[in-house]
Amino acid sequence: MQMRSRKYRIITTLERANNRLTRLLLRRGLAPKAFALLETTGRRTGLPRHTPVGNGLDGDTFWVVAVHGDQADYVRNVRADPRVRVKVAGVWRPGRASVLPDDDPAARSHALPYQWDAAIGRLMATTPLTIRIDLDPR
């Protein structure tokens, strides 16, 4: 495991409280449209894990720029089991996630629909990594 940078430790400390609130709002359908809830399967526990992410919905594809890359537990969970669900606009959609190490996460971030959230993500990023989720058709 790589050493976690000072920036990573500071940002993740601040993110924890924000993520708890955002997760609660997303579960109740009260969060802004700029956010979605990503459900992965815990690689150790096998239990569902919910992570607030920026809304990267584009048709039947959902894009995530993981600002901390492989340091993020949800990225490790995706690598262990790519079957995921995404709750967007109050609706759960199953899909299959792929980590794209050769994609340009900065360019991908600029293509996301909610730029104010993407800009915050770019500022917080330590080792960004792109994830593409191919959602099952409705």
Residue (of 79, 26, 30) closest to 54 by Cα position: 26
Q: Residues of the chain with pLDDT > 90: what percent?
A: 63
Tokens 């802004």 sit on residue: 32
Per-residue pLDDT tens over the stretch 78-109: 999 999 999 999 999 999 999 999 999 999 99
How many other CB atoms are there within 10 angstroms of residue 22's CB atom? 19
Q: Global pTM?
A: 0.85
Q: Where are the domains of the chain?
A: 6-135
Q: Which CATH superfamily is domain 6-135 in?
A: Electron Transport, Fmn-binding Protein; Chain A (2.30.110.10)
| Greater model confidence, 73 or 5 | 73
Would you give the distance in Å from CA 72 to the centre of its chain?
A: 9
Distance CA 137, CA 45 (A): 29
